[in-house]
Structure 1
Amino acid sequence: MGRKVVLATCVLNQWAMDFTGNLERIRQSIKQAKEKGARFRVGPELEITGYGCSDHFLESDTTLHSWQVLAALLKDPICEDIVCDLGMPVMHKDVVYNCRVTFLNKKILLVRPKMAMCDDGNYRETRWFMAWAKERIVEDHYLPRMITDITGQHTVPFGDGVLALKDTCIGSETCEELWMPGSPHIPQGLDGVEIFTNASGSYHELRKLRTAYTLVESASMKSGGVYMYANMRGCDGERVYYSGGGCIALNGEIVAMGNQFHLAEVDIRTYRNKIRSRSHAAARADVYPRIVVDFALSGPQDVSLPVCEPLEPQFLNPEEEISLGPACWLWDYLRRSGQSGFFLPLSGGIDSCSVAMIVHSMCRIVVSSIEAGDQQVLTDVRKIVADAAYTPTDPRELCSRILHTAYLGTVNSSEETKKRAEVIADSAGASHRSVLIDGAIEAILVIFTATSGFVRPKFRVNGGENRENLALQNIQARLRMVISYFFAQLILWAKGRPSGLLVLGTSNVDESLRGYFTKYDCSSADINPIGGISKTDLKRFLGYCGKAFNVPIIEGLLIAPPTAELEPLSNGLVTQTDEEDMGMTYAELSDFGRLRKIAGCGPYSMFCKLVHTWSDKYSPTEVAGKVKHFFRTYAINRHKMTTLTPAYHAERYSPDDNRFDHRQFLYNTKWTWQFDAIDQQLPELEKAYNKRPNKPELGCDVSRVEDTRSKV
């Protein structure tokens, strides 16, 4: 006969190295869990320190302060009569591990180290931690004296063990262990573990949450049981935003989900007994070390078993994710930075308009949270706007206090983009102004001509060569960055308000990949909410904003060709377009980016794939030309990635070299060996392409290139 248990999985918005704030948020989560009747609580990965401490994990201070926070919790009456599972770094035998520390009533029950490190994407865990490699082995861990003074324990179990309570058995996984083949929950379940926990530090990427939930459902479906998934939420100090999404699954179905606490009453044993293959495997399973705990999750009266109704997980589409994820990231960054708002150079194009809409979305979220009674958000707003009596009720009005925009126009700017910038700023509620910067550009030209023999550079359309043309474009872009920072520092001063503004960047992931921006231009900023988002997804996002936020001008914006407006107009009309300048479309850039980063393709293998993918529109020779052009420009501009503004991570092909994409920035831009390998394939592929009525199967002879390489 089973019994009812109440479980709590917690989603916390922690801040790296903020031990004081992290402790208080952990305390509040335990308090709320107990108020809901929970007798077991699990929180996210490394919740005591925050996940994004990076090389601070190499400092002894970090582990020391973690023990101090744990000591405060052990002594706190709020932690009595509830099993608490917390995340922190622990040094065992002079090696630091990413651990789960479980305690009850001033006694540490088990320190369970993570057994699989994550080193892909933005993760670099083996730089700071070692994976525990001793399966089903538990050792003695000698406690710091500050903990011994509280618990009376000199040693505690450390290793790959499980907790055997009076009424159930609990096993633990940490983040990556759910994603890897042969996850620990499989052998744990065969040895009788009924409740599995996963403390995670999973950051947001577009379209990612569905994968995580599928893994959670699968984990509890194979052999039955409860799977509790707790994740970090918020910006804890880095480019990533932890997406929350904690949930509880029972026997293969999600029964609780959300952004904070989730409670579930469960019955496991009948389900398991029906799976005969599972029973045969369990009879042969290896035994886990069990730490016996004189405590029951169920109360003496909890014999009734209410039915847990499964939920149908609701997943956001990418447009909705963009409206929420970067907006929440901006809010966390703003409230923790001590600044009073944002400054955005608003060009009237898709990228800067997307940033304006994301800030507007942030203001909508803030107002909604305050209306729901969130006092912390209200306190943060009042601090940001420097008004202790202010309570926002309208997102546009709040945006007028927080977002300051400027159209930094020149003689090369069109009236159309100027008007779009004004309408978008008004729709968002931003405090907007239009500024002409031709005087500043002329001052630079006067200085140059006076020191160069009075030779004045000209645009290409006026007879100048390429160097002149680029220099005249770049000085406009770079002066916009200088002016943006000047305005950001002094706009609030001019209004008699304290503090300054954070400058927002507006370059998207595709332009960064191609290097299609001026180094230290107005894409250089304090933070960039769209730096990890593709142009294609930004267009979809703006289409969503047009309907969700009632901004009708967006329809015209979406059909306008993207342009930098840095070259002279022709009869008042734009002649320069981004895609023409780049020599490739944004859709093609997305293909290049996914193949280069996600599929791990160099020039040759990228050509081999695209000669199939693009066969309906390009010949093999044309594909080869586009691939070569991409890799030449990628190599020429790779150095720009070292100066990218810290940007919200949202896309798996982000070229950000600071954390995500560790490639060199100095290349041989001729790619002689790689391009020769492509050229060797072209004659045969062109013959096949010209026989397309028979639709032959095209292919690259990899062995020929490998044989050639082996002779070197």
Structure 2
Amino acid sequence: MKLIKLAAGVVNTIPLDWNGNLQNILSCIEEARNQEVTLLCLPELSLSGYGCEDMFYAPYVAETALSQLQEIVPYTSDLAVSVGLPLMLNNKLYNASCFIVNRQIRGFALKKNLANNGIHYETRWFHAWSAGDRTNVKINGIDYPAGDLLFEVAGAKIGFEICEDAWIANRPGRELYARGVDIILNPSASHFSFFKSQTRERFVQDGSRSFGCVYVYTNLLGNEAGRAIYDGDAMIAQSGEMLASGTRFSYTDHYMVTATVDLEKGRLEQMQNRAVFSKTADALMVSVPFQWPEIRPARNQYVLEDWEAKGYQKEEEFARAVSLALFDYLRKSRSQGFVVSLSGGADSSACAALVYLMVELGIESIGIERFKQRLSYIEKIQQATSTKEIVHELLYCIWQGTENSSAETKFSATSLAEDLNARFYDVNINGLVETYKELIESGLDRKLSWDTDDIALQNIQARVRAPSAWLLTNIYNCLLLSTSNRSEASVGYATMDGDTAGSISPLAGIDKTFLRKWLLWLEEVGLGGTLQVKGLNAMNNLQPTAELRPADRKQTDEADLMPYEVLNAIETYGFRDKQPPKEVLKKLELDFEGIYTREELVAWTERFFRLWSRNQWKRERYAPSFHIDDRNLDPRTWLRFPILSGGFEKELAELREEANTPLGRRRIGFGN
């Protein structure tokens, strides 16, 4: 047997936080030493942070990363450690993993395939390295190999697939297999999205099986730079068997996943594997003098986390991902808490519930004392002894009613705030609304009415709520949570500087249909089947409505728009799948056969595409949102669309021709 104890190290980084990132890396190395690990893989760009954006262009960033790397080297006695950093070579920047063995840099593996889709723009800053190429990098007068490298450490061959390298069909692992690789390290910065962990698990497990090797995968953790969330997914597999995996969505700074492996097992697999992977280039073999310590066999145990084994994965992932993102946003911005303009509806109720879950899950993850320590700058929570005592100091809810607000929604808001133990402020803004109306009526020399000024009268109510919420936010030095969801964003069903006002927008990546189901699940089932929010009961029994028109007009969201399930389907087919309106209609007819008429589907399709086109400017102005799936509409990270466009006029004419309905042009919209 040839036994090695190795580990995937997970760290929570912040772009350009040189001291913090370095400390987390050193702490992870110390933990590896305490657990008698001899090979540690740390995530991609863990020294600088992955989300440095255009600061990667600044030469000092790569220079500082290299300087920080040299501070790590002395802490690697009797260890082999991989550390990610940006590396400048010949005035070109590369995404590199430095391999350090026993206090000596042994070389730099350079990323060959750059992520350049979705939220990733790696080709904007980095150059891809060509397979088979190698060069040298000079540090303090010493040349170190860099490029497509394979390291031989005391007889163990160790190669790299850096994040995107493993997601392509012709992955570098094929070349490594042809050279008898024993261990493949995959340092990653792979953003969270729903069910993505299953895809990662497949390519880790399949890679270990196909290449007859040990495969070590590690990832970043937390809300690193504001929008992307990293779940800290880490796993180790060998010869098609998953040996160990870590805890996702942890609130800690760093942790490790370890396994004890027998390299002879993989070598036997390679001897018995008759598959032929042709070599196209020869990587440089870097021989490293080292002595793996003698260790005893250990039992590796791979189990799903309890919450993953119980089903409801999407509901669980949404709660855990966004709650962790809120926690990191809170502490990294050094804010004192959150303000929610709590209307009693689904969106604002979800925001409040997520803050509560942030505290519950944080305490469950790291304990109440460590939770308070990570928020040590918030003095008001330091004497708290329970979740609800902390929530009381971190969550401020404000109800702002008008003459159009109902007793039912007010009860929904107050009962939820009471259940969560949030601070609650009851403010009547009807006088403010009337004051603004009178000012404008005086200037216009006429009365405003619902028959002639419907949208204006709705929007002034939503917009008047923003100053009070911002005032409360400033008083307590908090973050104001914007409450708009993705379904509203797609058609502009939101008042700019009203319900879109906020520092961050936790729901802008999720659709209203799922959100309503999630809130019902949170009340009745809850995270892990136990963590429920019973205060959502009143809200879950309400029909979604903006409550901006008088009660006798019986306003509802879906009457203003269309059924949310149809809206979401149009958005998916039209903008995720990039289909024109007439093709979208064909899909809708299949999905909603016997539920809605063809005429209704045609009308809703036209309405959606017209509203989408005229409201891109609103999506450009939304507060930063969290990325959670491939339906994201954020134009700064995912889906770009021109602010001014032809408005799908030709495509909608083709839709009408296809449907044989003379809809024609008409005014539809919700104002600003």
- What TM-score, normalized to structure 2? 0.92
Structure 1 residue 527 and structure 2 residue 484: aligned?
no
Structure 1 residue 181 and structure 2 residue 163: aligned?
no
Residue of structure 1 in register with 2:250 after alignment = none
Residue of structure 2 in register with 1:384 after alignment = 378
Task: Give the 5 Å matches for 1:281-680.
Answer: 281=276, 287-296=282-291, 298-299=292-293, 301-302=294-295, 304-312=296-304, 315=308, 317-369=313-365, 371=367, 374=370, 377-386=371-380, 390-453=382-445, 455-459=446-450, 464-465=451-452, 468-490=453-475, 492=476, 500-547=477-524, 548=526, 549-570=531-552, 575-582=554-561, 584-669=562-647, 671-680=648-657
CA contact (8 A) 1:565 1:576 kept: yes
2 CA distance for matches of 1:489 and 1:342? Answer: 11
SS in 2 for 1:7: strand
Task: Give the 5 Å matches for 1:270-289.
Answer: 270=265, 272-274=267-269, 278-279=273-274, 281=276, 287-289=282-284
Alignment root-mean-square deviation, CA: 2.1
| CA gap 1:274/1:165 in 2 versus in 1, 3 angstroms | closer
Residue of structure 1 in register with 2:251 after alignment = none
- What TM-score, normalized to structure 1? 0.87
2 CA distance for matches of 1:4 and 1:352? Answer: 54
| CA gap 1:239/1:24 in 2 versus in 1, 3 angstroms | same
Deviations 1:490-520 (A, max 9, x none): 2x4xxxxxxx111111111111112110111
Deviations 1:13-65 (A, max 9, x none): 00011011101111001110111111111111110111111111111121111
Residue of structure 2 in register with 1:99 after alignment = 96
Structure 1 residue 265 and structure 2 residue 242: aligned?
no
1 CA distance for matches of 2:260 and 2:335? Answer: 45
1:194 to 182, 203, 213: 182
SS in 2 for 1:522: coil
1 CA distance for matches of 2:532 and 2:199? Answer: 32
| CA gap 1:362/1:283 in 2 versus in 1, 3 angstroms | closer
How much has 1:641 moved relative to structure 2? 0.6
| CA gap 1:51/1:288 in 2 versus in 1, 3 angstroms | same
| CA gap 1:263/1:553 in 2 versus in 1, 3 angstroms | closer
CA contact (8 A) 2:157 2:183 kept: yes
Indicate the structure (1 or 2) with the bigger Cα radius of gyration. 1
Report the number of matched residues: 645
Residue of structure 1 in register with 2:665 after alignment = none
CA contact (8 A) 1:47 1:86 kept: yes
1 CA distance for matches of 2:297 and 2:365? Answer: 35
1 CA distance for matches of 2:129 and 2:396? Answer: 50
2 CA distance for matches of 1:598 and 1:277? Answer: 44
CA contact (8 A) 1:86 1:102 kept: yes
| Aligned-pair identity (%) | 27
SS in 1 for 2:175: helix
How much has 1:386 moved relative to structure 2? 4.1
| CA gap 1:568/1:295 in 2 versus in 1, 3 angstroms | same
2 CA distance for matches of 1:46 and 1:284? Answer: 29
Structure 1 residue 115 and structure 2 residue 112: aligned?
yes
1 CA distance for matches of 2:174 and 2:634? Answer: 37
| CA gap 1:410/1:111 in 2 versus in 1, 3 angstroms | same
How much has 1:566 moved relative to structure 2? 0.4
How much has 1:663 moved relative to structure 2? 1.2
How much has 1:197 moved relative to structure 2? 0.9
2 CA distance for matches of 1:418 and 1:378? Answer: 32
Which amino acid counterpart does residue 594 of structure 1 have in structure 2?
A: T
CA contact (8 A) 1:382 1:391 kept: no
CA contact (8 A) 2:226 2:329 kept: no
CA contact (8 A) 1:272 1:279 kept: no
How much has 1:275 moved relative to structure 2? 6.1
How much has 1:638 moved relative to structure 2? 1.6
Structure 1 residue 124 and structure 2 residue 121: aligned?
yes
2 CA distance for matches of 1:231 and 1:184? Answer: 19
CA contact (8 A) 1:357 1:545 kept: no
2 CA distance for matches of 1:332 and 1:679? Answer: 48
1 CA distance for matches of 2:420 and 2:597? Answer: 45
How much has 1:280 moved relative to structure 2? 5.3
Deviations 1:141-176 (A, max 9, x none): 233x3xx4xxxx2x1111111101113110101111
Residue of structure 2 in register with 1:228 after alignment = 216
| CA gap 1:28/1:101 in 2 versus in 1, 3 angstroms | same
CA contact (8 A) 1:140 1:158 kept: yes
Residue of structure 1 in register with 2:664 after alignment = none
Give the unaligned 5+ runs of structure 1: 493-499, 685-712
Residue of structure 1 in register with 2:148 after alignment = 160
SS in 1 for 2:377: helix
1 CA distance for matches of 2:86 and 2:334? Answer: 29
Which amino acid counterpart does residue 474 of structure 1 have in structure 2?
A: N
1 CA distance for matches of 2:405 and 2:279? Answer: 75
Residue of structure 1 in register with 2:69 after alignment = 70
CA contact (8 A) 1:10 1:43 kept: yes
